[in-house]
Amino acid sequence: MRFYLCSNKPPLSPFCCSREPKRIHRSDLGFSLVELMIAMLLSSGLIAAVLQVFAVSRQSATVQIALIDVQESGRLISQMLKRDIRMSGFWGCGGNNSIRNHLDTNEKKYKDFQSLQAVSGVDNWLPDQSIGSVSIKEGTDSITLKGAVTLNAYKLPEISKTDRVIIAGRGDYRLRKKSVLLLSDCYGGELFLATVKNRAGTTHLTAELKGIVNLASQDQYFSRDFPDADLLKPFSKQYFIGSSDAGAGDGSDNSKEINWSLYVRESGYRPQELVRYVDDLQVAYGVDMNNDGVLDTYQKSSLSVNMNNVLSIQVDIGVQSRQKVIQVSGMSSPMSRRYRLLASLRNRILQ
């Protein structure tokens, strides 16, 4: 049976309407193919613009993170080196000219304190060199700083030259067994090891300290009495650039990159990684050439410098970011920054 669209006129019969079809409006027909293509083109352009803005924002955020990264690393390294450079050369009221070394020559810490030179260094390390198990980066420098820090937490009684030293402290500084210690007054000092560690469990901690027998001279006692002395903890710190445990690449031998870090080796301990992504360390020494107490020039080579005349140290540090950023050349690589710090050996300037 065939049906037709009915008009507004009354039907001619129950089964048949007028044969005049109802007119359909253009808006009821939907979009044409051309209109769909134009709409898709405009949408694609809009999406591309949004993605472009997103990519630029993301790259800008990466650059900002990389910049914060290198600035934070540079600030941290500068603070650590400045602190130790300024404290180097301090050996108490009497200086280092009259300090007697009681350390056992077989003790591995003996070599670090055999010389009490405040500053020393190595220039342009050769290939395939290492400190402990850490490989040193070729062409970089290292610097060794020595001095002592006063242990104000501990109070010393009057000490005779045959006494064992019994000290009492507030407990805010724990001494390890075999810590190198310095008993010092304005007439000189005695360098020795702690043979008994702190005894915990009381308000005031005590430690029994004794000069270790030096196999060369068999001197197991102090050389004189110390009616009024200070207790100091000497330090020897060597800063250098070494290979980091944090490698990069896809795991293959060809793509494995070497990341470099700033390390410090303290007396008696293995090198410790301080700051990662540090790829250069260059040291220059500010020297007083005519012994008038005024810095005259900076010299690069530690071999030609009289370290006793060094008044200041200049350190140049190369730092890289963890994130790779797009450079001007279009290549993606870590952001690099160089920082220079100047620090004076206060104990020599104030003399």
DSSP code of 307? Answer: G
Q: What is the pLDDT of residues 233-290, one digit of tens each?
A: 899 999 999 998 755 443 334 445 788 999 999 987 899 999 999 999 999 999 998 8
What band does 211 get if pLDDT is binned at 50, 70 and 90?
very low
Residue 31 lies in a domain: no
Chain centroid to Cα 265, Å, comes to 13
Domain count across the chain: 1
Say if residues 281 and 240 touch (Cβ distance below 8 Å).
Answer: yes
- How many percent of the chain have pLDDT more than 70? 74
Radius of gyration of the chain (CA): 37
Among 24-38, 204-218, 237-251, 328-342, which is the least confidently predicted range? 204-218
Residue 26 lies in a domain: no
Which segment, 23-32, 60-69, 278-287, is predicted with the most confidence on average?
Answer: 278-287
Average pLDDT of 148-173? 67
Residues with Cβ < 8 Å from 176, sequence gap 6 or more?
194, 197
Q: DSSP assignment of 104-129, as one string?
A: -TTSTTTGGGS---SEEEE-SPPTT-
Distance CA 198, CA 174 (A): 6
Beta bridge partners of 101: 191
What band does 214 get if pLDDT is binned at 50, 70 and 90?
very low
- How many percent of the chain have pLDDT more than 90? 29
Average pLDDT, the chain: 78
| 253/101: higher pLDDT | 101
pLDDT score of 10: 54
The 3-state DSSP composition of the chain as helix, strand, coil percent (nearest 5) reads: 20, 35, 45
Residue 210 lies in a domain: yes
Distance CA 78, CA 37 (A): 61
Helix and strand numbers, DSSP H then E, in the chain:
2, 17
Among 160-174, 188-202, 225-239, which is the least confidently predicted range? 160-174
Give, in order, the Cα–Cα distances in Å from 106 to each of 30, 48, 92, 110, 336.
96, 72, 26, 7, 44
pTM assigned to the model: 0.76
Average pLDDT of 41-70? 82
Task: Give the domain range for residue 300.
Answer: 57-349
pLDDT score of 23: 65
Say if residues 178 and 194 touch (Cβ distance below 8 Å).
Answer: yes
Instruction: Give yes or no for residue 175 having a pLDDT over 60.
Output: yes
Nearest CA among 201, 205, 211 for reference residue 100: 211
What band does 42 get if pLDDT is binned at 50, 70 and 90?
confident
Residue 289 lies in a domain: yes
What band does 167 get if pLDDT is binned at 50, 70 and 90?
low
Instruction: Give yes or no for residue 12 having a pLDDT over 70.
Output: no
Residues with Cβ < 8 Å from 107, sequence gap 6 or more?
178, 193, 212
Distance CA 333, CA 325 (A): 6
Instruction: Give yes or no for residue 298 having a pLDDT over 60.
Output: yes
| 223/256: higher pLDDT | 223
Distance CA 338, CA 70 (A): 9
Distance CA 138, CA 279 (A): 10
Residue 217 lies in a domain: yes
Residue 135 lies in a domain: yes
Instruction: Give yes or no for residue 165 having a pLDDT over 70.
Output: no
Residue 207 lies in a domain: yes
Residue 39 lies in a domain: no
Which residue is it, tokens 């500068």?
78
